[in-house]
Amino acid sequence: MTTTNIEKTIEWIKIPKGGFSRMINQILIPYEYKKVDVSTTKDMYDAIKTMIVRGAPAIGIAGAHGVALAALEEKESQNFIENVVKKADYLNSSRPTAVNLHWAIQKQLEILKSNKDKTNAQIIDLLIENAIKLENEDIEINKKIGEFGSSIIPKGATILTHCNAGALATVGYGTALGVVRSAFEKDKTIKVFADETRPRQQGARLTTYELIRDGIDTTLITDGMSAYFMNKKMIDVVVVGADRIALNGDSANKIGTYAAAICAKYHNIPFYVAAPKSTIDSSIKTGDEIVIELRNREEITTINDRLICDNRVNIINPGFDVTPNSLITGIITEYGIFKPDEIHKLF
């Protein structure tokens, strides 16, 4: 099994009084590799919102850590449960699209509510324990996704990926890049084309950072180039991550994914989504119900803080799009690979 050279993206650091969350600051990569310690609910909200931590599974763990921090802050409070729930709602509002955030916070709230008879200190211990459990499970899940997914990668294939669904988007190993890593373990001749992923450049900054460190042959392209390379028969398969999957298999992922899926369909190239079960939102039937995050105009009007256009121009900046199930060949999960219209069977 290829183990990535990236350390845990986010981890709970235990100290006698409880602990705090330590995470790689992803805004700084590739210029600097630095970790940041987050020890308040407010700072966790900001870390998620400003994308110090990003990627659906990673922000899920950030949410779980955040609830543990909220509980530590409220330790002496008379209204312990109520106050922690309020802070959990606040954390949940930091980013709207990735369902893993909501899922992990819910897991923590279940523990909070089903242990009302215990002391605050005991509940805090349970929340910390659960956050660490979710953290460790995430890596195991990604390795299973990688193992299943490697079966669909032809020998010597070139894989296109969009955004960063790697170790940095999870606690470790990655989902789409977990598939790449597992395939690379078996076949050192595979190659990756990484979409740059405007406007935040997760593909350029993060995916190439990870893959180059693992010694995987990686070519960076801009988002609009993939159709050209598909037409030239230089891409064999597309594998992307997801932020939220509806019960019919419609999948939200970073803006630009939908365009890549349309191009893949046109060129008869298989298009796979790699994601854990926690990314499937069993409360929604189709992708129409997925809330798409709208982000600020500066992400588009500037590069490295310099304006690249007339600032009077209109901007709309959706962070994600939804790829309809009809464009998806299969969804790779820790339970196996499913046709999009079969994914509901997991519930």
Residues that bind ligand MRU (CB under 6 A): 54-57, 98, 163, 165, 169-170, 175, 202, 241-243, 253-254, 319
> Is 243 a catalytic site residue?
yes
Closest distance to ligand MRU from the beta carbon of 126 (Å)? 27
- Among candidate residues 138, 214, 236, 243, the one labeled active-site is 243
CB of 254 to ligand MRU, least distance (A): 3
Sequence-distant (≥ 6) Cβ neighbours of residue 161 within 8 angstroms: 176, 177, 180, 192, 193, 194, 195, 203, 207, 238, 239, 240
Query: In the complex with ligand MRU, which residue's Cβ is closer, 19 or 63?
Result: 63
Exposed / middle / buried, residue 296 (Cβ in 10 Å: 0-12, 13-18, 19+): exposed
What does the alpha-carbon distance between residue 182 and residue 179 come to, in Å, rounded to a whole number?
A: 5
Task: Report the nearest approach of ligand MRU to the CB of residue 243 (Å).
Answer: 5
Whole-number Å distance between alpha carbons of 57 and 76: 31
Nearer to ligand MRU among residue 70 and residue 239 (C-beta): 239
Q: Is 271 helix (H, G, I), strand (E, B) or coil?
A: strand
Angstrom distances, CA of residue 5 to CA of 146, 172, 279? 16, 10, 25
Nearest CB to ligand MRU, comparing residues 170 and 329? 170
Considering the complex, state which of residue 74 and residue 210 has its C-beta at the smaller distance from ligand MRU. Answer: 210
Residues forming the active site: 243
